[in-house]
Amino acid sequence: MSHEAAAEGRERAEEDAAAREDARPVPFRGGGFTHRRLGPVAPIVFLAIIALWEVGSRTGVISPVALPAPSEALGALADLVATGMLWKHVGASLYRLSLGWVLGSLLGISAGLMIGLFSLARAGLLPLVSALFPIPKIALLPLFIIWFGIGEGSKVATILFGTFFPTVIATYGGVDNVDRNLIRMGQSFGLSWLSIVRKIIIPGAMPAILSGFRISASIAIVLLVAAEMIGAETGIGAYILMAGALFALDQLIAGVALLSTLGLAIAWLIGRTERALLAWRA
């Protein structure tokens, strides 16, 4: 460093010292836009809405003809428990839901893997999937009734078809997104085709498959209720339909609450599965 530069540096240091008189903190501007975990907020909001609703009904602000009080819906639910019909309805629904969803998912994953792995399957099946996916499966219910009978068959088939297509699309999308370098690595170590599929492609597609499950499970519940509204004596959908026909609004609300609980339970289960299978991501 030259003398001049040194002198200049000293001068600047002196200036710095002088400036320190009116020094003030740099204002913080980096806050917001991030989320904190607020555990108790959800139940508080939920309970507050129920409480407001109950108060509204008791004071007459909400007419009982338009909307029954939560306590009445709870009463209807208690009746269901007391008569033992609760398990009959929920059990029938769960049976159809799980059978249809499991079969639809298994078939969907297989078809999705085929489309993801084989060019022939992609060329042949993908246009078919794109053509059939947007059809509301409930519109096909009469067909399913003819093919599979008015009983359990048509209901399970509706749910099966409803879950099949989103699972296919999630699975083949997941396969397409598996890191090509990992596949090349497997090939470079001489892994067999089956090993590459089992140990690299399927685990790599798992995140996409599991987010597909979230969507297909919701679709399955919607279809379940719709299917149970035709020719079913038991099931949550049938219960809601019956309640609606009799304008027993308390029972209707109770049925809807059951559905909502079912949806929450399934979302929780999928969340647990995700945490177990995708622990490596975190």
Partner 1 sequence: MQLILRGISHRYGGTNVLEDISFAVGDGEIVCIVGPSGCGKSTLLRIAGGLERPDEGEVLVAGKAPDGSLNPLTYIFQDFALLPWRTVAGNVSLVLEDHGIEAKKRRAIIEDVLSRTNLSDFSRALPRQLSGGMKQRVAIARALAVKPAIMLMDEPLSALDSQTRELLMDDLVALWQRERFSACYVTHNLAEAVRLGRRIVVLSRRPGRIREVVEIDMPLTERPERLVELEKLQRQVWKIMREEAREADREISDVA
| Separation between Cα atoms, residue 87 and residue 90, nearest integer Å | 5
H helices within the chain, ranges in order?
Answer: 3-19, 41-59, 70-83, 85-117, 119-132, 141-148, 152-176, 180-188, 193-196, 202-228, 236-245, 249-277
Separation between Cα atoms, residue 64 and residue 238, nearest integer Å: 23
Residue nearer to partner 1 on the CB measure, 125 or 210: 210
Give the residue with the Cβ less far from partner 1, 170 or 206.
206
Given a contact cutoff of 8 angstroms between Cβ atoms, the answer to whether 100 and 160 are in contact is yes
Minimum CB–partner distance for residue 113 and partner 1 (Å) = 18
**33/280 with CB nearer partner 1:** 280
Integer Cα distance of 171 and 209 in angstroms: 5
42, two tokens: 């959800």
Closer to partner 1 at the Cβ: 63 or 187? 187
Please list, residue by residue across 248-278, b when 16 or more beta carbons sit within 10 angstroms of its beta carbon and e when fewer do: bbbbbbbbeebbeebeeebeeebeeebeeee
In the complex, what is the shortest distance from the CB of residue 102 to partner 1, in angstroms, rounded to a whole number?
24
Catalog residues that contact partner 1 under the rule CB under 8 A.
179, 181-182, 184-192, 195, 199-200, 203, 280-282
Tell me how far, at minimum, the Cβ of 10 lies from partner 1, in Å: 35
To partner 1, the closest distance from the beta carbon of 281 in angstroms equals: 7
- Least distance in angstroms from the C-beta of 194 to partner 1: 9
Q: Which is nearer to partner 1, 200 or 266 (CB)?
A: 200
